[in-house]
Amino acid sequence: MNRAVLLSGGKGLRAGGDIPKQYMDMGGEMMVIRALRALTEHPEIDSVRIVAEEEWRERIAEAAGETCMAGVEGFSAPGANRALSILNALNDMEAVTDEDAVLIHDAARPFVSAELIGSCLHGLGEHEGVMPGIPVKDTTYVCENGRIKALLDRNSLRAGQAPEAFWLKRFKKALEALLPDRILQINGSAEIAVLDGMDVAVIEGDEKNVKITTAEDIKKYI
């Protein structure tokens, strides 16, 4: 069974306004709905759990509509950071088996394609985790105290994207190993897996699968 977690609990105020960016209008609908529909309409995703503050849940359900919400198994509470939000969602899932995979996606990436979702899931056939990545285009340096210390080989660098896919029970074990304090220092999903020694493959990402961060991003991609 392929389950998905949609992270929509962030404050996201860098985009301006007085509401989190994922709930802003983007071409006639909330950003989060675009991301949610990509998951619920995908033929290989069996269920979606949304991480969102309680005050937004009813509005998400109304905006998504009955057809889209039919693929949603429920809502989970946001944690103090991304890692704890994911753990909350995994803890809320019922009847988890050894055969279950989990796909973790961000509401702030509303343009994810069905092809990329499928590629992440298919990559689990040979690996414990899969992350899409795109090549780093700019020359990248290690700097210290305002001085260049080293030049990195950009041919070996990739900028990570979501969604990321993992075998669910194995990934949850990696999360729990970071409790209680180290988990608060974690930023990315793949970081959790790598720290626990999981085999994580990097597949080709999608330049169109952008992360919306600022008000300018919203205007640009509407």
The pair of three-digit structure tokens given for residue 108, joined into one six-digit string: 């702030």
DSSP element (H, E) containing 38: helix 31-40
**Does the pLDDT of residue 17 top 70, yes or no?**
no
**Does the pLDDT of residue 41 top 70, yes or no?**
yes
pLDDT of residue 193: 97
Percentage of the chain modeled with pLDDT above 90:
88
Confidence band, pLDDT 50/70/90 cuts, at residue 8: very high
For residues 122-128, give the mean pLDDT: 96
Question: How many domains in the chain?
Answer: 1
Q: Which domain holds residue 56?
A: 2-221
**Whole-prediction pTM:** 0.94
Average pLDDT, the chain: 94
Strand partners, 167: 101
Question: The domain that contains 62 carries what CATH number?
Answer: 3.90.550.10
Compute the half-sphere exposure of residue 115: CA atoms within 13 Å on the CB side of its CA. Answer: 6
- 217 versus 210: the higher-pLDDT residue is 210
Residues 6+ away with beta carbon under 8 Å from 30: 22, 23, 24, 59, 60, 63
**Does the pLDDT of residue 204 top 80, yes or no?**
yes
The 10s digit of each residue's pLDDT in 162-174 is 999 999 999 999 9
DSSP secondary structure letter of residue 25: B
The 10s digit of each residue's pLDDT in 42-56 is 999 999 999 999 999
